[in-house]
Amino acid sequence: MSKTRDLYITEVALRDGSHAIAHQYTVDQVLSVAKALDEAGVPYIEVAHGDGLAGSSLQYGFSRTDEMKLIEAAVSVCSQAKIAVLLLPGIGTLKELKEAAALGAKMARVATHVTEADVSPQHISMAKELGMETVGFLMMAHMAPVEKLVEQAKLMESYGADIVYVVDSAGALLPYEVKERIHALKQHLGVEIGFHGHNNLSLAMANTLAAIEAGATRIDGSIRCLGAGAGNTQTEVLIAVLERMGIQTGIDLYQMMDLAEDIVAPILQAPQEITRDSLTMGYAGIYSSFLLHAKRAAERFGIDSRDILLELGRRKVVGGQEDMIVDVAAEIASKTEIATR
C-alpha cells in the first residue's frame, strides 16, 4: 500500500486501552503490539499509563509495569512509527516528560480539562524545547460551549501546540456537535485539528467521520476498540471505511485486521462492547476512565453502578476527581439504607 496520507492516525490502545485492562500491560505485550502496528504503517503509537505519565497511583490505578519500560520497549521495535505520550499537568510533570523524550518518545500530547488550558503552557513549551511534536488535548469537550472551546484551543496554540484536539472523553457528543466544534477550530486556529472519540453511545465512528468532514486531519483510533469505557473509534474498521471513501491513511488494512484478531484480542479481559455502564457514561457525560472505578465502588457498597455514574454526571465531575466515586457511592448506599429501614 502507498504511504501517501490524507490524514494521520494515532493508535491509542497502548495508552487508552490501559484503562480497560486495569493498567496491566506487560513489556512483551507492548513489544508485540507496537511492532505489528509499526509494520502495518501506523504513523503514531501512544504509550503510557491510561491517565498519562506518572498516572500509576492509588488514585488512578497502579501499573503492572513501569510506563518508562513500556515506552522504551515500543521505541525499540518501531522503525517508522513515532511513539507518543500523554501528559496531564498535575499528574505528570516536566521530569517524566524529559525522561520519556530521552527514551525516544517523539510526540507529547498535553491534556487538560476543556476549560483549563491555562495549566499547560510550561508542559507544551518544554515539549517543544525537547524537539517533540506537541499536541494540545482538550478533554471532556462536551462540557463547554463552542466559544469556550475556541478560546481554550487558541491558548494552546499560543503556547506552541502544533495540533489541537477536540477530545470526546465521555463519548457524549453527537455528530453535529463534533462538526460544529471542529469547524469552529478550523476557522479560528492556524494549526492542525484532531479528534479523539469514545464509543459509549455507539457514535465513535460517526463522530470521527463528522470530524474529518469538518476538516480534522489528526484522528485517534484504538485497535479492536481497546480503550476506556466502550472503547474508542476502532482503528482497523476506520481504515476500511476511509479506504471506501478514497481517503488514504498509509496503513495496511489486512495487517491491522490480523493484529486485531491475533495479538490484541487475547489481551482483552472482556470484549469491548457497549454495556449498561458504558452506555450510562455516554448518556450522563462521564469521563470514560471512571468505568472500572465505578464498578468496584458499586460492588463494595452493594449498589447499582449506574446510580453512581448518573450522580457523578449531575455533579459534573471531571477527570482527576476519581476520589469522588467512592464518596458518591457511600452517600448513595447510606441513603438507600435509611430509605429501607
Catalytic residues: 19
Q: Which three cell numbers stand for residue 321?
A: 476527581
32 assigned ligand-binding residue? no
CB 307 within 8 A of CB 313: no
Beta strands in 64-217 (DSSP E): 82-87, 107-113, 133-139, 163-167, 192-196
15 assigned ligand-binding residue? yes
287 assigned ligand-binding residue? yes
CB 83 within 8 A of CB 107: yes
Q: Using the CB atoms, write b or e for 252-288: b if 16+ within 10 Å.
A: bbebbbebbeebbeebeeeebebbebbbbbbbbbbbb
Within 13 Å of residue 272, how many CA atoms lie on the same side as its CB? 31
198 assigned ligand-binding residue? yes
The bridge status of strand 163-167 relative to strand 133-139 is parallel
Give CA–CA dist 325/82, Å, rounded. Answer: 35
**3-class state of residue 137 by DSSP:** strand
220 assigned ligand-binding residue? no
49 assigned ligand-binding residue? no
CB under 8 Å to 102, separation ≥6 — which residues? Answer: none
**3-class state of residue 217 by DSSP:** coil
Cα 253–chain centre separation: 22
What pairs with residue 133 in β-bridges? 107
The annotation places the binding site at: 15-16, 169, 196, 198, 287
The annotation places the binding site for substrate at: 15-16, 169, 196, 287
